[in-house]
C-alpha cells in the first residue's frame, strides 16, 4: 500500500447515466438501426412491420402527423437537432429520414433492473435516481482507494471501468460515469464525455472542467433561477463562484443563495441514500386531440378507467397501498389543475381509485377542452404496515382553488 496521498478525496462518489437509454434499448431489438437517426415517441401504430422477406418496414418521421413529442433520440438524431421533448412534427422537419418507434416502458424497466443489478454486484451502495441513473458510493469498494503507479485515482478509475463493462455485458448498453468527491459534481461530470464516458473530476479540476460550464448544469438551478442569474450577468458556474454573496442574497434569499455559492465551489455533503420509498405513483396520458368532457364523454371515461386500472396494477406489482388519490388535468392552452383527496383507509384496487378520482374530478370546472389526464396515488404504505411519517403538507386539501364551490360535473365523465 502506498502512502496516503493528498489528491484522494474523503469520498469517491459516482453518478451513472445510461446513454440515450430508451433509444438504445430499441436498438437492441432492431440492430439494423444502429448508427441511424432514431426517435422514440410514437404510438403503437408506428410499430415496425415484418415484410414477407423477413426484413422490417420502419415508420419514417416524415410521415408523422399528430401532437406527440420526442421521448428520446439516438445520438445520430441529436446530430440533426432532434432532442427530448421536441414536437415530433418539428423533429420531422429537421430529420425527415429518422425512424420513429413507439415507446415500450416494460422493456425499459426490464433493462433498468438489469443494469442496476449489475452495478450492485460490484458496488452495493447505490441510490436509485430513476429509470436510467444512479449514484454509487465507491469510497469503500475494495481497490478504489489504491493508487495505480503514480496515479492516485488509478484504483477508482479501474472500479468505474469494471462497472461500465459489467453494465455492458449484462445489458448490451453503454453508460456514462462521472466520479468526483460528491453527488453534485458527479452529476455534472457524467455528462461531460457522453456517450460511453468515464470522467474523473477532483477539486483541483474545478476551474478548468466545471467553471466554464453554464450555471444550468448544476442540478438544482432550474429555468427560473437560470434566467435570473443570466439577468445578473452570471452565465457560467465560474461567474457564480465569483459572484458577491450580497448580490445573490438580494435576489435569491439567504438559504438558496448560500447553496448557490457552495454549489459553484463544488461543495456538497449529501450522502448516497440507498433506500427510498416512492412518494407517489402516477399514470397520465396526453390525448391525440383535445377532448371535451361532455361531447367526448365515452372516450374520456374509458381512458380515465384505463389509467386507474394501470395504476392499480402498478401498485399491486410494487406492493403498495395508497391513501391519497389525486387527478391532474391539463386544458387547451396548457393550464394545469390538480385535485386530491385522502381516504380513511389505504386502497390498491382499480374500482376504489376510480371512485375517489371521480370525486376529485367533480371539483373541477370542465367547460374547457382537455389535452391531458393523469391519476396519482400518494401516502403510500405496504400492506400491514403503519403509514410512514412524511414531511410536507398534511391532508388532501390540494391547492387553494380547491376551496371554490364544486361545479356541476356530476353528470360528466367522472
Binding site for ligand DCP (CB under 6 A): 17-22, 71-72, 84-85, 132, 194-195
133, 309, 345, 385: the active-site residue? 133
Phi, psi (deg, nearest 5) at residue 42: -80, 180
Sorted by sequence, the CB contacts under 8 Å of residue 176 that are 6+ apart come out as 16, 17, 19, 190, 191, 193, 194, 195, 196, 197, 198, 199
22 or 115: CB nearest ligand DCP: 22
Q: Which strands form 38-42's sheet, in the order they lie side by side? A: 59-60, 99-102, 38-42, 72-73
Q: Is 345 a catalytic residue?
A: no
Which of ligand DCP, Mg ion, none lies near 85, with the C-beta cut-off 5 to 8 A by kind? ligand DCP
Q: Report how far residue 202's alpha carbon sits from residue 205's, in angstroms, rounded to the nearest whole number.
A: 5
Q: How far is the CB of 190 from Mg ion (least distance, A)?
A: 9
Shortest Å distance, C-beta 22 to Mg ion? 9
CA dist list (Å): 236 to 188, 222, 252: 13, 14, 17
Q: Which residues bind Mg ion (CB under 5 A)?
A: 17-18, 21, 132
Phi, psi of 212 (to 5 degrees): -70, -10
DSSP 61: G
Minimal distance, residue 209 CB to Mg ion, in Å: 20
Q: Is 8 or 119 the residue whose CB approaches Mg ion more closely?
A: 119
Strands 99-102 and 72-73: unpaired
Residue 71's binding partner, choosing from Mg ion, ligand DCP, none, with beta-carbon cut-off 5 to 8 A by kind?
Answer: ligand DCP
Task: Select the binding partner of residue 211 from ligand DCP, Mg ion, none (C-beta < 5 to 8 A, by kind).
Answer: none
Which does residue 194 touch among Mg ion, ligand DCP, none (CB within 5 to 8 A, set by kind)?
A: ligand DCP
**Nearest residue (CB) to Mg ion, 72 versus 342:** 72
C-alpha 89/C-alpha 47 separation (Å) is 18
Is 132 annotated as a binding-site member? Answer: yes
DSSP type of residue 98? P
Task: Tell me whether residue 17 or residue 137 sits nearer to Mg ion (CB atom).
Answer: 17
Judged on CB neighbours under 10 Å (0-12, 13-18, 19+), 98 is: buried
Q: Tell the smallest beta-carbon distance from residue 132 to Mg ion (Å).
A: 4
Q: Binding site for Mg(2+), residues?
A: 17, 132
Q: Which residues are catalytic?
A: 133
Amino acid at each position: 500500500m502506498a502512502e496516503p496521498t493528498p489528491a484522494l478525496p474523503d469520498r469517491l462518489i459516482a453518478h451513472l447515466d445510461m446513454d440515450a437509454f430508451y433509444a438504445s434499448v430499441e436498438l437492441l431489438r432492431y440492430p439494423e438501426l444502429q448508427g441511424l437517426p432514431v426517435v422514440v415517441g410514437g404510438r403503437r401504430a408506428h410499430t415496425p412491420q415484418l415484410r414477407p422477406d423477413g426484413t422490417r418496414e420502419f415508420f419514417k418521421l416524415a410521415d408523422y402527423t399528430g401532437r406527440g413529442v420526442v421521448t428520446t433520440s439516438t445520438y445520430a438524431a441529436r446530430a440533426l437537432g432532434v432532442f427530448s421533448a421536441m414536437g415530433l412534427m418539428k423533429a420531422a422537419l429537421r430529420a425527415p429520414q429518422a425512424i420513429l418507434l413507439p415507446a415500450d416502458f416494460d422493456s425499459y424497466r426490464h433493462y433498468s433492473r438489469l443494469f442496476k443489478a449489475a452495478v450492485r454486484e460490484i458496488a452495493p451502495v447505490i441510490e436509485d435516481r430513476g429509470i436510467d441513473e444512479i449514484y454509487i458510493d465507491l469510497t469503500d469498494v475494495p481497490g478504489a482507494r489504491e493508487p495505480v503507479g503514480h496515479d492516485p485515482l488509478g484504483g477508482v478509475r479501474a472500479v468505474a471501468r469494471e462497472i461500465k463493462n459489467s453494465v455492458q455485458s449484462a445489458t448490451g448498453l453503454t453508460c456514462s460515469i462521472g466520479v468526483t468527491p460528491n453527488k453534485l459534481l458527479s452529476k455534472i461530470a457524467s455528462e461531460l464525455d457522453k456517450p460511453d464516458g468515464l470522467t474523473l473530476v477532483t477539486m483541483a479540476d474545478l476551474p478548468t472542467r466545471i467553471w466554464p460550464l453554464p450555471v444550468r448544469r448544476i442540478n438544482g438551478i432550474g429555468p427560473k433561477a437560470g434566467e435570473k442569474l443570466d439577468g445578473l450577468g452570471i452565465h457560467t458556474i465560474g461567474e457564480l463562484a465569483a459572484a458577491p454573496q450580497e448580490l445573490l442574497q438580494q435576489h435569491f434569499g439567504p438559504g438558496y443563495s448560500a447553496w448557490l455559492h457552495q454549489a459553484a465551489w463544488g461543495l456538497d455533503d449529501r450522502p448516497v441514500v440507498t433506500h427510498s420509498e416512492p412518494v407517489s405513483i402516477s399514470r397520465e396520458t396526453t390525448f391525440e386531440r383535445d377532448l371535451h368532457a361532455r361531447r367526448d364523454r365515452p372516450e374520456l371515461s374509458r381512458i380515465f378507467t384505463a389509467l386507474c386500472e394501470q395504476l392499480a396494477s402498478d401498485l399491486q406489482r410494487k406492493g403498495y397501498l395508497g391513501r391519497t388519490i389525486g387527478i391532474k388535468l391539463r386544458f387547451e392552452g396548457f393550464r394545469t389543475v390538480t385535485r386530491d383527496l385522502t381516504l380513511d383507509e389505504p386502497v390498491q384496487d382499480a374500482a376504489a381509485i376510480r371512485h375517489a378520482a371521480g370525486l376529485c374530478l367533480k371539483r373541477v370546472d370542465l367547460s374547457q377542452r382537455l389535452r391531458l389526464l393523469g391519476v396519482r396515488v400518494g401516502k403510500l404504505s405496504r400492506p400491514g404496515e403503519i403509514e410512514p411519517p412524511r414531511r410536507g403538507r398534511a391532508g388532501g386539501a390540494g391547492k387553494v382553488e380547491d376551496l371554490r364551490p364544486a361545479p356541476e360535473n356530476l353528470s360528466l365523465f367522472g
